Amino acid sequence: MNHVCARPSHPKARHRPGRRVALLCGSLLAALLPAAPARALEEVVFQIPLLEITFRVRLGELQSADQLLAGNSDLAEIDRATNGAVGRQILALFQQPVPLSLKQVASRSVGSPLLEQAMLVISSFGTVEGRPTDLSGRTLEKALARASAGGEPTLLSLMKALPGQRVTIDLAQAQRIASRMKSQLKEADALIAALPAATVPVARSTGTGAGAALPVIRRSVKLQVSHRAEPLDLLVLEPAGGGDGRLALISHGLWDTPTSFEGWGNRLAARGITVVLPRHPGSDISQQQAVLAGQAPPPGPEELVRRPKDLHAVLDALEAGTLVLDRPVNTRRVVVLGHSWGATTALQLAGVRPSDRSLRQRCGNLNDPERNLSWTLQCSWLAGVSAAETLADPRVIAVGAVSPPVSLLFPKGSGVDLSARVLLVSGSRDWVVPPDPEAITPMRWGRRRGNQLVLASGGDHFNLRPEEQPDGGVLGPLLQAWSEAAFAAGDAARPAAEAAPLLRSRDWGDGEIPLVEVTEALPPP
C-alpha cells in the first residue's frame, strides 16, 4: 500500500513533508468531528493510560506563550512547571501553517472511499461528545474555508474553526492498535527463527552464456489503450543482441513509478529476458502529487480494473504488432512481478478472483483482530470488485507478488482458481501489509498447488523495492531465480495439485535481510 493515504517513507516524496503532515492532521481532525453544525471547538482532552493521566488544553490559551502561562488548564499548569519549555513546543505545533492546497485536497476528496476509510480508522483515536462522525470530508472542507478567511490557516485556526465543544483523544486506543499491529508480525518471526535462510549467492555476473552480462537497452514508449483516455507510458528494458524471447512485466504499487523497479528489470534483462514496466496513471506518483496539490481525488475503485487491463493491453499490443520490440517475444508464456498494489494486480492476472463478501462484512469493524493499514486501500476497492472478477490472463504462467494487500479482496481458498504459479514475498517488519494475515494465512491454502512463500527478516514495505540498484536489491536474486525457473518449466510452471516447487536451489539470499522459504512449515488451513 503503498498503500495508505500518504506514504511518508517514499523517497520520491521527502521534499513535501509539510503537505503530508497537513493532510494527515486534517484527516484526523475531520474524522473526529460532528456532521451537524455546533459551537466552535474550545478544548482538547488527551488521555494517557499508562500514566493514568488526563490533561486538557483550551484553544484560547494557545494564542501565545503569555496566554498559556496565564491560563488555568492542565497544560498551562505543566507549562508553568517547566518554565515555559512545554509551551514553546506545543505552540510551535499548533501555529504550524496548513498549506492552502489542503482546501483543494478536501474538496476534491469528499466522498472518496479511500479518504473515508482513512478517516474511519483515524476516528477510532477519539470522539466528539455524543455526536456522529462525519466520514465524507465535508466538515473539514468547510472548516478550512473558515480558518483561511483571514489568510494562511494554521493548525490552531483550523481547530478553532471546527464545530464541536470538546475533542477527546484516546491514547489507550492507540496503544491497542499498536499491540494488534505487533501481533501480526509474531508468526513471521517464529517461522524465520525456525528455518535456515537462503544462502547469499557468490558474487558473479548476472549474464548468460559464458557468464558475461548482456548490455541492456532502455527506452520509453507510449501505447494507446482503449480503457484509458491517455496513452500508457511504458519503460522497456531489452537485452542488447541476445534476447531469447522470454518476456516479463512489472507492475508498480500505489503512488509509485516504474523506475522504482528498474533494478529488477535490469537484472532480468541482463539475463536475456525482455522486461516491460507500465506506468499506471490512475495510481502512480504523479497522481499522488496531484492529490496532495488538491488537483485530483485519491485513486478510485475503478483502478482495480484498469491496472490489470494495462498489462493485458501490453500483451495484446505485442501480439498485434502495435508495440514493436527489437526482438520478438513469446507472449504465450509470460512472468509478471509486482509490489504492493502491483502485486495484487499480478495476482489478478494469475487468476485469483476477488469477492466483495469480506469487504462488506469487515471494513466497518475497527476492532477486527486482523485489521491492518492495507485495509484502508482494500476497503476503497469495494465498488470495483464486480467488474474485476474475470481479469485472469492465460498468457501468464507465473507471478512474483511482493507485499500484496489480499486478505479482504480474495476469499480464503480462492487459490484453487489460479492459472499461474505464485511466489509470495512478505517482510517481517511490514507494518503496512503485515505478513499475517496478508501473506501467511492465504498461503496456507495456496501451498497445496505448488505456490511458495518467502519471508524477509527485517524487510518492510519499502526496503524490498530495488530502486536504482542495478543488481535488483534485496530480492533481485530471488526474483531472477523464480522467473528463470518458471520459464524453464514452461507450461509445467502452472499450478497443480502436489506440484513440485519451482524454487529448488537456495542460492538467492541476501546478506543484510535474510530470506527464508517457509512454505512447508506453514500450519494447515
Structural domain boundaries enclosing 234? 184-521
Q: Rounded distance, CA 508 to CA 199, Å?
A: 6
Q: Rounded distance, CA 167 to CA 236, Å?
A: 52
Angle (CA) 250-252-257 rounded to 5° is 115
126, 188: one domain:
no
Please count the structural domains in the chain: 2
Q: How far is CA 196 from the centre of its chain?
A: 29
206, 109: one domain:
no
Given CA atoms 411, 251, 8, 109 in this order, what sign does their dihedral have? negative
251, 121: one domain:
no
Last residue of a domain, one of 178, 212, 246: 178
192, 121: one domain:
no
Last residue of a domain, one of 158, 178, 198: 178
Q: Beta strand 421-427 with 452-456: parallel, antiparallel or unpaired?
A: parallel
Residues 6+ apart with CB under 8 A from 470: 263, 266, 267
Residues 6+ apart with CB under 8 A from 286: none
Q: Within 13 A of 448's CA, how many CA atoms are on the CB side?
A: 15
Q: Rounded distance, CA 341 to CA 361, Å?
A: 22
DSSP string for 437-504: HHTHHHHHHHGGGT-EEEEETT--TTTTS-TT-TT-GGGHHHHHHHHHHHHHHGGGGS--TTPPPS--
212, 123: one domain:
no
Given CA atoms 224, 229, 230, 234 in this order, what sign does their dihedral have? negative
The 10 Å CB-count burial string (b at 16+, else e) for 392-417 is bbebbbbbbbbbbbbbbbbbeebbee
As a whole number of Å, the CA-based R_g of the chain is 25
Tell me what pLDDT residue 12 has.
35
Contact by Cβ (8 Å): 397, 315: no
Q: Is residue 271 part of a domain?
A: yes
Last residue of a domain, one of 178, 210, 244: 178
Q: Is residue 249 part of a domain?
A: yes
> Could you tell me which of 250, 211, 454 has the C-alpha nearest to residue 340?
250
Contact by Cβ (8 Å): 252, 4: no
- Whether the bond between 163 and the residue before it is cis, its omega within 30 degrees of 0, is no
387, 434: one domain:
yes
User: C-alpha cell of 459?
Assistant: 524487510
Tell me what pLDDT residue 325 has.
92
Q: How far is CA 188 from the centre of its chain?
A: 19
Q: Within 13 A of 77's CA, how many CA atoms are on the CB side?
A: 6
Q: Rounded distance, CA 314 to CA 325, Å?
A: 12
Q: Beta strand 334-339 with 247-251: parallel, antiparallel or unpaired?
A: parallel
Q: Which CATH number do you get for residue 346?
A: 3.40.50.1820
Q: Is residue 3 part of a domain?
A: no
The 10 Å CB-count burial string (b at 16+, else e) for 354-374 is bbbebbeebbeeeebebbbbb
Q: Is residue 4 part of a domain?
A: no
Q: Is residue 2 part of a domain?
A: no
136, 268: one domain:
no
Per-residue pLDDT of the chain (525 residues; tens, 9 = 90+): 544 333 333 333 333 333 333 333 333 333 333 333 345 567 766 665 545 566 677 778 888 888 888 888 877 877 787 888 877 877 887 777 766 566 666 666 666 777 677 666 666 666 555 444 555 566 667 777 787 777 777 877 877 776 666 666 666 676 777 788 899 999 999 999 999 999 999 864 444 433 458 999 999 999 999 999 999 999 999 999 877 999 999 999 999 999 999 999 999 999 999 999 999 999 999 988 887 677 888 899 999 999 999 999 999 999 999 999 988 999 999 999 999 999 999 999 999 999 999 999 999 898 899 999 899 999 999 999 999 988 999 999 999 999 999 999 998 877 778 999 999 999 999 999 999 999 999 998 888 889 999 999 999 999 999 987 889 999 999 999 999 999 999 999 999 988 999 998 889 999 999 999 999 999 888
Contact by Cβ (8 Å): 108, 74: no
Q: Is residue 358 part of a domain?
A: yes
Q: Is residue 251 part of a domain?
A: yes
26, 149: one domain:
yes
Contact by Cβ (8 Å): 457, 428: yes
145, 268: one domain:
no
Tell me what pLDDT residue 511 has.
94
Q: Is residue 319 part of a domain?
A: yes
Phi, psi of 292 (to 5 degrees): -70, -25
3-state secondary structure 404-437: CCCCCCCCCCHHHHCCCEEEEEEECCCCCCCHHH
Tell me what pLDDT residue 146 has.
80
Map grid coordinates 493491453 to a residue.
313
User: C-alpha cell of 523?
Assistant: 500450519
60, 206: one domain:
no
CB neighbours (10 Å) of residue 461?
Answer: 28
Q: Diameter of the chain by CA atoms?
A: 80
CB neighbours (10 Å) of residue 288?
Answer: 25
Contact by Cβ (8 Å): 115, 24: no
Tell me what pLDDT residue 210 has.
37
Torsion of CA 259, 264, 268, 270, to 10 degrees: 70
Question: Identity (one letter) of the amino acid at 458?
Answer: G
> Could you tell me which of 400, 412, 410 has the C-alpha nearest to residue 493?
400
307, 452: one domain:
yes
Q: Rounded distance, CA 246 to CA 483, Å?
A: 10
484, 514: one domain:
yes
The 10 Å CB-count burial string (b at 16+, else e) for 316-329 is bbbeeeebebeeeb
